[in-house]
């Protein structure tokens, strides 16, 4: 196998940290193929537990599914920001909780048609220290669930990235 050679790239659209990039690759057999790639920023996902071992979740309306989702706190990694800092910032902004300890679990590509990565963290011994500080397009309700309640309800979560993140985190913490 041989790596494909990128011969052309053009940003088609970009706004609010999301976009589309048109890319043409030279294939191993020398023909050219066009692809449209997601152009997004990295995101920090935080599976957070309170000092009482409750899972901190956020319920919010999402424009894609046009419905409410229940998710772990997640947000964009700002340019030049370390992903672990972004995770702590997003947890505090969206929920008002601050962690005692945070550990990086893994980073995975969000899509094979883009370069953005989801950085997965586990935050422990979180404490409510501030009111929410939401962005202009956020309307978030904080939901606390016991680990056992969360495990029982995980099949009802309608947000695939939270399901995958949660399985990683529960396994990482030895809670499965």
**Pair 3, 81: CB distance under 8 Å:** no
Per-residue model confidence (pLDDT) at position 158: 65
**Pair 58, 159: CB distance under 8 Å:** no
| Domains with residue ranges and CATH for the chain | 5-40 (no CATH), 43-172 (3.90.79.10)
Q: Cα–Cα distance between 140 and 53 in angstroms, integer?
A: 21
Beta bridge partners of 126: 50
**Pair 144, 56: CB distance under 8 Å:** yes
Q: What is the pTM of this model?
A: 0.89
> Alpha carbon of 73 to those of 26, 31, 139: distances in Å?
40, 44, 13
What are 48-87's pLDDT values in tens digits?
999 999 999 999 998 888 999 899 999 999 999 999 999 9
**Pair 44, 103: CB distance under 8 Å:** no
Q: What is the mean pLDDT of residues 159-173?
A: 81
């Amino acid at each position: 196998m041989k790596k494909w050679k990128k011969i052309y790239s053009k940003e088609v659209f970009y706004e609010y940290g999301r976009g589309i990039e048109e890319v043409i690759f030279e294939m191993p057999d020398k023909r050219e193929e066009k692809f449209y790639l997601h152009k997004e920023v990295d995101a920090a996902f935080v599976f957070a537990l309170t000092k009482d071992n409750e899972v901190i979740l956020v319920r919010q309306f999402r424009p894609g599914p046009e419905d409410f989702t229940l998710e772990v706190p997640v947000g964009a990694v700002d340019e030049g920001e370390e992903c672990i800092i972004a995770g702590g910032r997003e947890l505090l902004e969206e929920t008002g909780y601050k962690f005692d300890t945070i550990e990086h679990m893994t980073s995975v590509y969000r899509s094979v048609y883009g370069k953005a990565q989801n950085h997965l963290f586990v935050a422990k011994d979180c404490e409510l220290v501030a009111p929410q500080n939401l962005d202009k397009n956020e309307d978030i309700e904080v939901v606390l669930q016991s680990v056992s309640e969360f495990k029982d309800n995980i099949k009802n979560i309608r947000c695939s990235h939270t399901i995958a993140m949660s399985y990683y985190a529960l396994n990482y913490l030895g809670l499965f």
